[in-house]
Amino acid sequence: MNLEKLKHTLFVTLKWIVICALIGILSGSASAFFLVSLEWVTQIRAHNSWIIWLLPIGGLAIGFAYHYWGKSVVKGNNLLLEEYQNPQKTIPLKMAPLVLFGTLITHLFGGSAGREGTAVQMGGAIADQFTKIFQLDDSGRKTLLILGISAGFASIFGTPLAGALFAIEVVYFSKINFKSALLSFVVAYIAYFTVEFWQVQHTHYSVPIVPSMSFTVLFWIIVVSVLFGLAAMLFSRSTHFWTHLFSKTIAFPPLRPFIGGFIIAVAVYLIGTTKYIGLGIPVIVDSFSTANLSYDFLLKILFTGFTLGAGFKGGEVTPLFFVGATLGSALSLIVPLPIAMLAAMGFVAVFSGATHTPIACTVMGMELFGIESGLFIGVACIIAYFSSGSVGIYNSQVVKGAKYHLYQNFKKNPTEL
């Protein structure tokens, strides 16, 4: 009996190791291809500024592609979360090429969007195909979705620990098991090393000065972290506002990105700069050494919310990095903390508030900026998380726990908070 049980355990273990390897390698390779392609289209746009006038045409192409072939996957990351909470049917594999196409078109012609949504959706779609291949039940399928999210996130940002934790934390209140948590780390590292194998580089940041902690320093960390949380709230609500407005006012979905693309092109022409479109990586890097304008983060929120609300594709996380880093950088003019430290805290704290994932964001901060900044990063992420409201960028995310109860009590008895 014990021997049979041991054989079964070894078989199950081997099966999941194989599954992790397949998902990690495939998702990591997809992310590597996406990163190279994204850099290519970004360079084309950067050297041909006139191309933004083609954004309405690109939007129309995205709109028609999803209207006629992608209705079942148009929810994107929210579909992954919904299927995790209530498994219904396997996510179509076409989600991967559609979101890849849509994101590259968005960035080629000048939309403001990120990249994590694309990588996570590709990872989730790839992972879910193994449900039938390995004849998994609903519990096994939930594990697959966590693995897909983990692999996509870890490979696109080069942060395997944060990727594994993000996949766990973003679905945390829908219940997970120990097996899923453990495998999330395994697949994250496989996906990460797969991108390394393809010799695709990630962006590196530096925080040269980490001040000593004191009550004065802690006071300023709390102040700026609340502002980071409010920025996260504004970002989330802005994206939902534009999505609702476009769906309410324009009945035919393909016309939404067409009209939205035209408005974005005109807006970029009128303000005379392209710093608020695309990923904005150069602006993020510069924010660690040069103070940004006080309104840079607001314009990025506006352009990103409008772009995604109109129906263009991409993620929200890199724009969240932009918002946080530029806000922190601008605050360096009045807050007596090193500019790089403020930019780093904002970088992950706004992300923490918008996704309700303070643990993953804290770890991501340490992976990107060094473990020495961990205390600053951790405090910033937790405070931003609690001060960002109960609405995040993912409509289908289950939000419970202390934060949820805090806001529920406030709604019932606002004078007692």
In the chain the first and final C-alpha atoms are separated, in Å, by 58
For 125-154, how does the pLDDT look when each residue is reduced to its tens digit (9 = 90+)? 999 999 999 999 999 999 999 999 999 999
> Which pLDDT band holds residue 164 (cuts at 50, 70, 90)?
very high
Residues 6+ apart with CB under 8 A from 349: 225, 228, 229, 232, 324, 361, 377, 380, 381, 383, 384
pTM: 0.95
What is the mean predicted confidence (pLDDT) over 388-408? Answer: 76
Residue 1 has pLDDT above 60, yes or no: no
Per-residue tokens: 393: 């960028």
Distances (CA, A) of 365 to 295, 343, 373: 24, 11, 8
For 328-383, how does the pLDDT look when each residue is reduced to its tens digit (9 = 90+)? 999 999 999 999 999 999 999 999 999 999 999 999 999 999 999 999 999 999 99
As a whole number, the mean pLDDT across the chain is 94
Domains of the chain: 2-197 (1.10.3080.10), 215-408 (1.10.3080.10)
